[in-house]
Amino acid sequence: MILEEEGCLAQRGSSEISKIAIIDYGIGNLFSLKCALQKAGLSVSVLSKPESLSSYDGIVLPGVGNFKSGARNLYPIREEIARVVEDGVPLFGICLGMQLLFEKSEESVGEGLSLLKGRVLKLPGDVKIPHMGWNTLRVLVNNDLLDGINEKDYFYFVHSYYADPSENEVIIAETTYGIAFASVIAKKNIFGTQFHPEKSGKPGRKVLHNFARIVKG
């Protein structure tokens, strides 16, 4: 089912515009993300209980909140998500959406999508939790998602947990907050950011434009 929201004009133009599905699994307000992706030149649908994702050129999995609730709400469509990713459709997980790409979390019971090997851990107790506000990236690996991004750029974070991938090569940028954690990940057509690009000003818009370019091929 496609959810319509007032106040954000739909992308208009050629039928050749790439189509993106934002999966609404009941975690977070998706309005600003939808608008930001439209401004990146994509045709965006917010889907609730999607029966098929095969007609979309890219998938975005956003979210804030609890790992258990997110995993439970995604369970009915986890196989559909895995199938389109296997077919090569780009998938972008944001904040909780990035954490749900992994297998499990210290936050609560529940099985993630297991598209990437690893777990989600709590930030260390010697820093204020949640990590809320602006922070930078240390880019480790060149990747199209971070094209034009440098280590002076600030991004907006809100989280208490972080992804700990089993495969270090998927980490393309780190951020330090009590510990150096994976803030951007990428493996083939799977991407994720712990920060919210739609709330991160010009650098965040650049990341979303880069994802749009990846989707368009």
CA angle (194, 17, 144) in 5-degree steps: 40
174 is catalytic: no
Catalytic residue (one of 107, 131, 174, 198): 198
Going from the C-alpha of 58 to that of each of 120, 168, 215, the distances in angstroms are 24, 25, 6
- Is the preceding omega at residue 130 within 30 degrees of 0, hence cis? yes
**How many CB atoms are located within 10 Å of the residue 12 CB?**
8
d(Cα 65, Cα 198) in Å, to the nearest integer? 17
Contact 141, 165 (CB under 8 A): no
CA distance 161 to 105: 8
Which candidate in 131, 159, 196, 209 is catalytic? 196
Using CA atoms, how far apart are residues 144 and 184, in angstroms rounded to an integer?
12
Contact between residue 96 and residue 61 where contact means Cβ atoms under 8 Å apart: no
Active-site position among 86, 95, 106, 151: 95
Active site annotation includes 198:
yes
Task: Identify the residue whose tokens are 């091929």.
Answer: 217
51 is catalytic: no
CA distance 199 to 87: 30
Active site (catalytic) residues: 95, 196, 198
